[in-house]
């Protein structure tokens, strides 16, 4: 009987830990550093193989690091109360409120109606709506919400007697992939859009004491996501799929019917939209508009203020607030734990001296041109996340990249930003991202369709990330600040 990946990982993780911790002596590495290295191998093995739930694995540092002497218990557990966890918490609460009162569906339908109902432009409308929503809410929830709207449009085309034979199948494949890909792309635009972005910000904060603000990420992430979204749309509608029928019979009527079905915008929707827009405005303008008057405020505090507002502002439904604690039970608590585990590893690398030790042993990479190094790193991360969680990948990889950056004397912004963005660009397999799995479950997309289109998009994203990180990122971010800290 063949062993499953999970079973192999279950035993391999602890075996690697005990072998590294008890039997291997690394010259120049402290006992604490060896303990962190051994623990990281165990955690990474369980993350990659999903031997037990990823969120549960994320709690392993609390046991392994203190018992092995890598970190004290207090140092380890502090990671699970990192300020960025509360930024993410607040973002999740806003997303829950938007979904509870169906505001996300209204926003999506209005965007699609505005763009138009030509076959290509209706796909663009779905992509813009999906990407915009995934900037603020879970890309999984976003894909799940948009999918029924897309299925209704596909059915409308299928049932229309004016539809060319087989055209419905081509349109369905293109639309399903467009929804999946834009859900992943949109999340890259904001700091709270996808977990790897916050892992990146947390690593920078822990390693260098520098805060990556919402606005700082946005001025790079939003243009990048917009460029990739536009290229993805062109690729799907002009190259991956060919449409014989340019106009969409009955598409406009279907969108209008769904909007009418929603009725007028409710009192609760208006309130949530106001809180949402005020929060986004505060995040974007905080560093230059709010901080001069309130120096202690940061993005996490803004998120928590919005969170409190949603639990305080009353709705018209029996004077209950917009949100109650039962709603909050839907929070993806596992993501918050995984983020804490990643931060624990980062702190362990820094305080045990493991980061410096790794950096000293990677000076050979100094001879590799930076743009080539970025290309290799982005390619490796891009295809690695086809089979692993992007959050787990960044959580275990970014602390190592901090060490590499020091060892080869390269600004860490290059390596860490490249890996973070690449981790969200997995387009080939249904298991690569939850949105991919959601649309694959619709039955309209075969695995070969996703692999064919996704492989090309992976290659396109690798080139775009490499060029933007190498040439554009230094123009948008102050690279001198992190060099001074280093």
| Mean pLDDT in consecutive groups of 10 residues from the start of the chain, 486 residues | 79 95 90 93 87 89 96 93 84 84 82 77 91 86 80 73 71 93 95 90 90 93 97 95 73 78 90 90 85 88 92 86 90 82 85 81 78 93 80 83 87 95 90 82 87 94 97 93 66
Q: Residue 216 sits in which domain range?
A: 83-328
Query: Which pLDDT score is estimated for 163?
Result: 61
Q: Of 439, 398, 421, which Cα lies nearest the Cα of 193? A: 421
Q: Of 29, 31, 57, which Cα lies nearest the Cα of 44? A: 57
Query: Which pLDDT score is estimated for 84?
Result: 77
If DSSP codes are grouped into helix, strand and coil, which group holds residue 118? strand
Query: Which pLDDT score is estimated for 484?
Result: 60
Q: Which residues contact 42 (CB under 8 A, 6 or more apart)?
A: 13, 14, 16, 17, 60, 64
Q: Which residues pair with 118 in a beta bridge?
A: 247
Q: Of 350, 414, 439, which Cα lies nearest the Cα of 127? A: 439
Query: Which pLDDT score is estimated for 250?
Result: 63
Residue 38 lies in a domain: no
Query: Which pLDDT score is estimated for 1?
Result: 42
CA distances from 165 to 161, 178, 237 (A): 10, 22, 18
Please say whether the beta carbons of 105 and 149 come within 8 A: yes
Residue 472 lies in a domain: no
- Could you tell me the two tokens for 167? 């055209």
Beta strands in 60-185 (DSSP E): none
Query: Which pLDDT score is estimated for 466?
Result: 97
| C-alpha R_g of the chain | 23
Query: Which pLDDT score is estimated for 238?
Result: 92
* Counted domains in the chain: 1
Residue 431 lies in a domain: no
Residue 40 lies in a domain: no
- Could you tell me the two tokens for 475? 């123009």
Residue 210 lies in a domain: yes
Residue 353 lies in a domain: no
Residue 308 lies in a domain: yes
Q: What are φ and ψ of residue 247, in 5° steps?
A: -100, 155
Q: Of 56, 240, 249, which Cα lies nearest the Cα of 155? A: 249
Question: Any idea what DSSP says for residue 321?
Answer: B
Q: What are φ and ψ of residue 454, in 5° steps?
A: -65, -35
């Amino acid at each position: 009987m063949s062993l499953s990946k999970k079973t192999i990982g279950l035993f391999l993780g602890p075996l690697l830990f005990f072998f590294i911790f008890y039997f291997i002596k690394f010259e120049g590495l402290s006992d604490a550093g060896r303990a962190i290295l051994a623990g990281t191998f165990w955690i990474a093995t369980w993350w990659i193989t999903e031997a037990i739930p990823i969120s549960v694995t994320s709690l392993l540092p609390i046991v392994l690091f203190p018992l092995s002497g890598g970190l004290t218990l207090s140092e380890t557990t502090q990671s699970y109360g990192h300020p960025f966890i509360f930024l993410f918490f607040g973002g999740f609460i806003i997303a829950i409120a938007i979904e509870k009162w169906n505001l996300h569906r209204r926003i999506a339908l209005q965007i699609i109606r505005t763009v138009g109902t030509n076959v290509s432009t209706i796909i663009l409308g779905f992509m813009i709506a999906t990407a915009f929503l995934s900037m603020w809410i879970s890309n999984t929830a976003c894909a799940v919400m948009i999918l029924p709207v897309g299925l209704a449009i596909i059915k409308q085309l299928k049932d229309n007697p004016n539809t060319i034979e087989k055209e419905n199948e081509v349109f369905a494949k293109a639309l399903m992939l467009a929804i999946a890909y834009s859900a992943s792309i949109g999340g890259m635009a904001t700091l709270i859009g996808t977990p790897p972005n916050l892992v990146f910000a947390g690593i920078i904060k822990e390693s260098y004491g520098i805060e990556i603000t919402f606005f700082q990420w946005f001025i790079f992430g939003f243009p990048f996501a917009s460029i990739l979204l536009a290229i993805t749309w062109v690729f799907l509608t002009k190259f991956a799929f060919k449409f014989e029928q340019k106009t969409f019979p009955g598409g406009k009527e279907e969108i209008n019917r769904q909007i009418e079905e929603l009725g007028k915008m409710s009192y609760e929707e208006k309130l949530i939209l106001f809180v949402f827009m005020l929060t986004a405005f505060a995040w974007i303008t905080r560093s230059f508009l709010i901080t001069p008057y309130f120096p202690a405020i940061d993005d996490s505090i803004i998120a928590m203020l919005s969170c409190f507002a949603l639990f305080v502002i009353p709705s018209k439904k029996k004077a209950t607030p917009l949100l109650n604690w039962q709603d909050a039970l839907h929070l993806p608590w596992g993501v918050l734990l995984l983020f804490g585990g990643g931060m624990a590893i980062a702190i362990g690398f820094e305080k045990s001296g493991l980061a410096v030790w790794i950096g000293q042993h990677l000076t050979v990479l100094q001879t590799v041109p930076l743009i080539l190094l970025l290309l290799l790193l982005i390619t490796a991360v891009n295809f690695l996340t086809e089979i692993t969680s992007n959050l787990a990948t960044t959580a275990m990889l970014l602390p190592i990249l901090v060490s590499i950056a020091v060892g080869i004397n390269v600004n860490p912004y290059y390596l860490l930003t490249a890996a973070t963005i690449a981790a969200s660009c997995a387009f080939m397999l249904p298991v690569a991202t939850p949105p991919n799995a959601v649309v694959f479950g619709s039955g309209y997309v075969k695995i070969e369709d996703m692999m064919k289109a996704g492989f090309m998009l992976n290659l396109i994203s690798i080139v775009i990330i490499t060029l933007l990180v190498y040439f554009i990122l230094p123009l948008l971010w102050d690279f001198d600040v992190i060099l001074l800290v280093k």
